[in-house]
Amino acid sequence: MSTATSTKKRSPWAWIPSLYFAEGIPYIIVMFVASDMYKTLGIPNSTLALWTGLLYLPWVIKPLWSPFVDMYSTKRNWIFWMQMALAVMFFGVSLSLHLPWWFPMTIFFLWGMAFSSSTHDIAADGFYILGLNQHDQAFFTGIRSTFYRLAMIAGLGLLGIITGMIIDRTGLETVRININSVPASEIGQATTESDVIIPEESDGIARILVFPSVVNVPLASGRLDSSNVYIVLSAPPEEAMTVTFGQKKGSQDIHLTTSGVMEFDQSNWNIPQKQIITVTSNLRERTSSLFEAKSGDVPFGWSVSIAFLGGLFIIFALYHRYILPRPQRDTIHQAEDEKSSYGEIFASFFRQEGIVASVLFMLLYRFSEAQLTKMASPFLLDGRENGGLALSLTEKSFAYGTVGLLALLIGGVSGGILASRHGLKKWIWWMALAINIPNTVYIFMSYTMPSNLFVINAMIAIEQFGYGFGFTGYMLYMLYVAGQGKHETAHFAITTGFMALGMMIPGMISGYIQEFLGYQHFFIYVILCTIPSFIALYFIKIDSEFGKKTATEA
In this structure, the dihedral spanned by the alpha carbons of residues 211, 214, 215 and 216, taken in order and rounded to 10 degrees, is -150
Which candidate, 181, 213, 384, 186, places its Cα nearest to that of 288? 181
pLDDT of residue 448: 92
Measured distance CA(414)–CA(431) in Å, rounded = 11
Q: Tens digits of per-residue pLDDT, 210-265? A: 888 788 888 866 555 778 888 989 888 887 788 888 888 888 788 888 878 888 88
Would you state the torsion angle of the CA atoms of residues 409, 413, 418, 419, taken in this order, to the nearest 10 degrees?
100
Say if residues 69 and 126 touch (Cβ distance below 8 Å): yes
DSSP-based three-state secondary structure for 346: helix
Q: What proportion of the chain, given as a percentage, has pLDDT over 90?
A: 32
Burial per residue of 365-387, b for 16 or more beta-carbon CB atoms within 10 angstroms, e otherwise: bbbbbbbbbbbbbbbbbbbbbbb
pLDDT value for 242: 83
Distance from the Cα of residue 342 to its chain's centroid: 34
More confident residue, 479 or 430: 430
Nearest Cα neighbor of 275 from 220, 227, 237 is 227
Contact (Cβ atoms closer than 8 angstroms) between residue 6 and residue 324: no
Count other C-beta atoms under 10 Å from residue 356's C-beta. Answer: 11
Instruction: Provide DSSP, 89-147.
Output: HHHHHHHHTTSTTHHHHHHHHHHHHHHHHHHHHHHHHHHHHHHS-HHHHHHTHHHHHHH
Q: How confident is the model at residue 83 (pLDDT cuts 50, 70, 90)?
A: very high
pLDDT at residue 548, rounded to an integer: 63
Question: Which of the four pLDDT bands, split at 50, 70 and 90, describes residue 2?
Answer: very low
| Distance (Å, whole) CA 179 – CA 262 | 19
Strand partners, 217: 181
Is 84's pLDDT higher than 70? yes
State mean pLDDT over 332-355. 68
| Pairwise CA distance, residues 266 & 268, whole Å | 6
Rounded to whole angstroms, the Cα distance separating 96 from 450 reads 36
Domains and CATH numbers, the chain: 1-170+298-333 (1.20.1250.20), 172-295 (2.60.40), 337-548 (1.20.1250.20)
pLDDT for 361-399, tens place per residue? Answer: 999 999 999 999 899 989 998 888 788 888 888 888 888
Question: Does residue 207 contact residue 235 with C-beta atoms inside 8 Å?
Answer: yes
Q: What pLDDT, in 10s, does the model give residues 452-472?
A: 999 999 999 999 899 888 888
The predicted structure's pLDDT at residue 5 = 39
Instruction: State mean pLDDT over 184-199.
Output: 72
Nearest to 459, CA basis, from 372, 360, 359: 372
Q: In this model, does residue 340 exceed pLDDT 50?
A: no
Amino acid, single-letter form, for residue 483: G
ω into 212 cis (within 30 of 0): yes
User: What contacts 95, CB < 8 A, 6 or more positions away?
Assistant: 303
Task: Provide the 10 A C-beta neighbour count for residue 108.
Answer: 15
Helix 424-436 crosses helix 531-539 at what angle (to 10 degrees)?
170
Burial class (CB in 10 A: 0-12, 13-18, 19+), 6: middle
Q: Average per-residue pLDDT in the chain? A: 84
Question: Pick from 338, 343, 346: which is nearest to 495 by CA?
Answer: 346
Please tell me the predicted confidence (pLDDT) of residue 135. 64
pLDDT the model gives residue 223 = 54
DSSP state of 541: -
Q: How confident is the model at residue 485 (pLDDT cuts 50, 70, 90)?
A: low
Question: Are the CB atoms for 439 and 378 separated by under 8 Å?
Answer: no
